[in-house]
């Protein structure tokens, strides 16, 4: 097994053990340490993927060769984003700022919209690629084309999420006015109940 992959997996496993120990055995700072280690392992995989342009978390050097290049870079960027967010969450938990930060993000969700948009865009881009260069009309018609269309929808939704996040960041008042025009979940639920009410 590759040493760097062993370190990545070990960090995530140690983190999971720390989270369990902190949650169920009241280990002082164990939960925060576990969250940090999980984030560090994922982020390390992202850094490795960006540096080598090959898939991170590979157990051997010749694994996932067909995904080298653009797919590996997309996965690495996504892993780096998730790892960095997890590390940030660990610091917020350690400093007692988690709940206040969640409340702030509820009121000003630009970072969440941008982060989620980036992840959804990455997933969609991966679905649109054909790294194994498979051919054949049956595979193209029944697998690749539907997958590509779903990927296109995800990329569009992700870019829309990023645009909404940037808009909320730059002009929160106009963004709030737009949100106030949208029906709430409660309104939608009541509308559905009225639609299916007998009589």
Q: pLDDT tens digit string along 106-134?
A: 899 999 999 999 999 999 999 999 877 77
Measured between alpha carbons, how far is 89 from 98 in angstroms, rounded to an integer? 7
Measured between alpha carbons, how far is 168 from 188 in angstroms, rounded to an integer? 24
Three-point CA angle 182, 188, 193, nearest 5°:
160
- Angle of helix 70-94 relative to helix 98-107, nearest 10 degrees? 120
Measured between alpha carbons, how far is 15 from 1 in angstroms, rounded to an integer? 20
Please answer whether residues 45 and 56 qualify as being in contact, where contact means their C-beta atoms are separated by less than 8 angstroms. yes
pTM, 2 dp: 0.85
Nearest to 124 by CA among 142, 143, 144, 149: 149
Q: What residues of the chain score a pLDDT lower than 70?
A: 183-199
pLDDT of residue 192: 44
Measured between alpha carbons, how far is 30 from 15 in angstroms, rounded to an integer? 9
Which residues lie below 8 Å from residue 100, measured CB to CB, with a gap of 6+? Answer: none
- Hey, how many other C-beta atoms are within 10 angstroms of the C-beta on 106? 9
Phi, psi torsion values for 25, nearest 5 degrees: -120, 10
Helices (H), the chain: 3-24, 30-52, 70-94, 98-107, 110-128, 137-139, 145-170, 172-181, 185-195
Nearest to 155 by CA among 115, 119, 114: 119
pLDDT of residue 165: 95
């Amino acid at each position: 097994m590759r040493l760097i992959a062993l370190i990545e997996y070990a960090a995530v496993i140690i983190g999971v053990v720390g989270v369990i120990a902190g949650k169920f055995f009241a280990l002082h700072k164990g939960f925060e340490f576990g969250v940090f280690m999980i984030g560090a392992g994922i982020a390390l995989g992202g850094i490795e993927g960006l540096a080598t342009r090959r898939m991170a978390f590979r157990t051997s050097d010749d694994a996932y060769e067909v995904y080298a290049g653009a797919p590996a870079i997309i996965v690495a960027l996504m892993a780096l984003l998730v790892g960095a967010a997890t590390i940030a969450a660990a610091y917020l938990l350690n400093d007692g700022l988690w709940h206040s930060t969640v409340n702030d993000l509820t009121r000003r969700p630009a970072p969440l919209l941008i982060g989620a948009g980036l992840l959804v865009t990455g997933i969609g881009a991966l679905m649109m690629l054909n790294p194994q260069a498979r051919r054949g009309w049956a595979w193209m018609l029944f697998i690749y084309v539907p997958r590509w269309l779903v990927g296109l929808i995800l990329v569009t939704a992700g870019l829309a999420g990023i645009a909404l996040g940037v808009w909320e960041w730059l002009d929160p008042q106009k963004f709030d006015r737009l949100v106030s025009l949208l029906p709430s979940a409660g309104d939608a639920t009541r509308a559905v109940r009225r639609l299916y009410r007998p009589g």
